[in-house]
Structure 1
Amino acid sequence: MPRTLIDRSVLFLVLIIILIVASLFLLLSSLKVDPVEQAVQDELMINLALILERDGKPIATELLMYYPGNARGALLDIPVETGLIIQSLNRVDRIDALYDPQSPKTFLAEISKLTDTAIEWYLVLDEAGLRDTVDLLEGLPVFIPNSVRSIQDGKPLFLPSGAVMLDGQKMLSYIRHVDEDRPEAETVARRQAVFTALVKRMGERKDFVFRDEVFKSFARRFRSNLSIESLSHLFGQLAKLDSDRIVLQRLTGTPRTVEGIPLLFPHYDGELVRDIVKQTLNALLNAEAIAVSDKVFTIEILNGTTERGLAQRTAEIFQGFGYEVVSVGNAPSTDIALSRVIDRYGDPAAASTLANVIRCTVIESATATPSTGASADFIIILGKNFNGRYCVD
């Protein structure tokens, strides 16, 4: 009899412990906040890596910077051939040498170091996943500036210019297309157009995408370090992204070949791309910031010194910041002391933001400066105080 009482007491004690543990588990679960939801609640910047894979290697990597406070965002293209001194490998190599398809954390850590910004989350799509995702969304709308004619996988490819709706296979062909006769900027623009169209289409079809059975099919095409619940919150935010006003930027650099490997070394040892990211993040926090204006400003750059190629090299700096350089050339004089920005658009705030890219302190209005006849919104005249990156005293 005493033994029965002891057994019942032990059983009762075990039940109490189980109830306490279960209650604590439920309490902790209720207190646990999804990381994406927490970032949105706190209006924190969301930095997300978007990676497109082919055969286990990245063929496109975009850093999406998104501010949930105003649904504004920017895309920064990181070329896979970006050349760096990779300390963990003890050699100079392409950044994608660090890529592991099972876990791209090391690859992303190097991009974080290069851009001086934290990248906590990633989304990876392989080519088949992109094709199937596009088909699930019933196509993606894109604007093709120049018609595409080529041969891919032994088959002729033709995509007409203009606004078109592409299915999964054609979208895959579009992003694969490389025209050696066209500038690299067009290839980058094509990659960014695909990612932008994907986000826009997801927003247009959000009522369909977020049905339980559809979303599970949609989400499993992506690999990520986020849970399915977090992915739901993330895609919900991306559906709100103002895709028509995404700022498009790219990492620029100097191409070189090292031991037979073509590399693109970032300008100024990465200082330029870090400046681009810093300015972009600051601008996205302000819905009225000129750096996230709806308009892509056009500029003309004139070399007022005897240094050859200065205007062209400076053009690459401004292209990295998202400006459209419509013309480069020489100023009427090669003996200009001070660099200046000429505002032909009539927007002092925009002129100031542009001038700050090279730390130029002289800004003049077009009414005060003779026109060169250029059609650009702004004219930049480089003087002797410009060292190739900044204006110095």
Structure 2
Amino acid sequence: MPGRRRRVSVLGWVGIGLTFVLVAVSLGGYAYYRYIDGGIIREPIEPGASRPPDTGALNVLLVGSDSRAGDNKKYGPKEVGERTDTIMLLHISPNRDKATMISFPRDSMVMIPECRSRTGTALPGGLRQINSAFNDGGINCTIRTLESLTNIKINHFVKVDFTGFKGIIDAIGGIEICLPKAVNDPKAKLVLGPGKHVVNGEQALGYVRTRYALGDGSDLSRIQRQQVFLTKVLEAVTNGGLLTNPVKLNAFLEAATAAVTVDSGLTLDRMLDIAKSVKGLTAKELKGITVPTEPYPPDKNRVQFSEPAARDFFESVRNDVEVTPAPTPGKAAAVKIENKQVRVQVLNGTGERGKAVQVADQLAAQGFVITEVGNAAVTDTTAIRYAKKDTADGPGYADAVAARLSKEKKTPVAGKVRPVNTQPYKSQAGVKAPDGPIVQLVIGKDWPGVRVVSAIPDSLKDKVVDSNTNPCL
């Protein structure tokens, strides 16, 4: 069907509801899903030699477009090509217990790498608006751009169109929104009074599209509204009775599959595997955040990533909490050593100025008691040590530090832990040190970084949108 093959919509992220809704469904079994799966359009993700490594997390790119082709022409004058009107990255932690929706403002000025155009010709890299990557080079250029900016590997993508988005919301039975004031926006085709409303697909599309009638008129304000709306969609899917109503569920799945385009790797079996892994994940665990930005000096209508805030944020996403291995059957679980019980001596063996203090700050933020910082002989290999006299308890305390490394765990070894060129860690001066062994961390040139507990740094916590965010503001 020609309409089904149209390019993507403004809220491609809603398509991920297809994955979430498979979590607890028992409607017709595998044969039914095979039928549903036959309605999904797929496109391949181009392989690349320099793509970021997998970390165990699941990263799904969710995009929309400003295309006015076909049935979408009533939403504005037809434009040449299309740009991603909405760019979001759904990051699900390796443990599958937390989900972070990262929004990239479409007006961001970024370095776009070399890509192939939609016709196959070479596109030179350069500084351009982020949504032009999709306009010029399609989904694969968008993926390449985001991976080059974040160093986060994108595992899958989902796309939806205007018309498909409306069908999904109608199939759910509408979504409750709250307006702080009356809205009359002819461009978004939204006319509603103040207060709470249950909106159908057409009204919901207007609500997430309107820019100047709500908020401060900025794309950043609209992004926050879209993030709040997403939490309401997930609440409706997971808690609104959809999963236990065969008629509504069938309508939702048929609307979702008709609306989305996904990558070739997101097969039915892969969807079911993902669904099992995120079982129990609800809207309460979803947090929305926008990449830190600041005004772009040459053009007040554009923004650029704020540094180092954006760089630190992407590092936090890459290094979020690791999968905790299940205990071996029949083997007694080891006594858990809490971070606050561990005294750590941090030594810089990279030759990079200030590295010990930087790492000590990151470990202290996670509760470790840092006793000293200093320098060691330059080394290629990161090491974790405990004193030979502590062979009974030392390994457990050292493992607590090893567990915070963002890549493979370093095996702690017994050795010398008190070199002469150290000094007290000033930020924790006066903190009462716990009992127990001292663990020495020597940072080598292969330093993998400290794995963080949350994908969202403390500095950005006040910008989080979640299920507790007041939709009326």
Q: Provide TM-score, normalisation by structure 1.
A: 0.54
Structure having the larger proportion of residues in helix: 1
Q: Which of 250, 265, 280 is matched with 2:304 structurally? A: 265
Q: Does 1:152 align with 2:164?
A: no
- The list of structure 1 runs, each at least 4 consecutive aligned residues, that deviate by more than 6 angstroms after superposition, is 362-365
Distance 1:284 1:265 in 2: 28
In the alignment, structure 1 residue 251 sits paired with structure 2 residue 291: yes
Name the SS of the counterpart of 1:99 in structure 2. helix
Deviation string, structure 1 residues 335-379 (Cα, Å, up to 9, x no partner): xxxxxxxxxxxxx969x9xxxxxxx947999xxxxxxxxxxxx99
Deviation at 1:125, TM superposition (A): 1.3
- For 2:253, the equivalent position in structure 1 comes to 215
Query: How do residues 1-393 of structure 1 correspond to structure 2 at under 5 angstroms?
Result: 44-55=56-67, 56-67=82-93, 69-88=95-114, 89-100=124-135, 103-142=138-177, 144=178, 146-153=180-187, 157-162=191-196, 164-179=197-212, 181=216, 185-204=220-239, 205-208=242-245, 215-225=253-263, 226-234=266-274, 240-256=280-296, 262-268=301-307, 271-285=308-322, 361=427
CA distance in 2, matches of 1:229, 1:53: 28
- Give me the whole-angstrom Cα distance separating, in 2, the residues matched to 1:161 and 1:189: 18
Q: 1:149 to 1:106 in 2, by over 3 A?
A: same
Question: In structure 1, how many angstroms separate the alpha carbons of the residues matched to 2:259 and 2:223?
Answer: 24
Supply the distance in 2 between the matched residues of 1:114 and 1:217 (Cα, whole angstroms): 33
Partner Cα separation in structure 2 for residue 276 and residue 255 of structure 1: 18
Sequence identity percentage: 13
Q: Which has the higher contact order (CA 8 A, sep 6+)?
A: 2
Residues 137-194 of structure 1: per-residue CA shift (max 9 Å, x gap): 111234x3623513223856225335x4322111111111113735654322111122
Q: What is the identity, as a one-letter code, of the residue corresponding to 2:66? A: R
- Tell me, what secondary structure is at the counterpart of 2:65? strand
CA deviations on 1:252-271 (whole Å, 9 max, x unpaired) are 2222265x794321112xx4
Rate the CA distance shift 1:190–1:214 in 2: closer, same or farther, 3 A. Answer: closer
Q: Report deviation, 1:237.
A: 5.6
Aligned residue type for 1:224: V
CA deviations over 1:11-52 (Å, ceiling 9, x no partner): xxxxxxxxxxxxxxxxxxxxxxxxxxxxxxx99311111112
Do 1:43 and 1:69's aligned partners in 2 also have CA atoms closer than 8 Å? no
Which is richer in strand? Answer: 1
Residue 244 of structure 1 aligns with an amino acid whose one-letter code is K
Task: Name the CA distance, whole Å, in 1 between partners of 2:131 and 2:146.
Answer: 10
SS in 2 for 1:188: helix
Structure 1 contact 73–246 (Cα < 8 Å) conserved: yes
The alignment partner of 1:265 has SS state of strand
2: CA distance, partners of 1:212 / 1:134:
13
Distance 2:322 2:94 in 1: 9
2:85 aligned counterpart, secondary structure: strand
State whether residues 113 and 145 of structure 2, in contact with CA within 8 Å, keep that contact through their aligned partners in structure 1: no
Count of residues paired in the alignment: 255
Q: Summarize the Cα distance change of 1:199–1:188 in structure 2 as closer, same or farther, 3 Å threshold.
A: same
RMSD (Å), alpha carbons: 4.0
CA contact (8 A) 1:203 1:240 kept: no
Partner of 2:378: none
Letter of the 2:88 partner, please give it: E
Larger radius of gyration: 1
Instruction: Give the deviation of 1:283 after TM superposition.
Output: 4.2
- Relative to structure 1, the CA distance from residue 140 to residue 244 in structure 2 (aligned partners, 3 Å threshold; closer, same or farther) is same
Query: SS where residue 118 of structure 1 aligns?
Result: coil
Q: Which runs of 5+ in 1 are unaligned?
A: 1-41, 288-347, 353-359, 366-377, 380-393
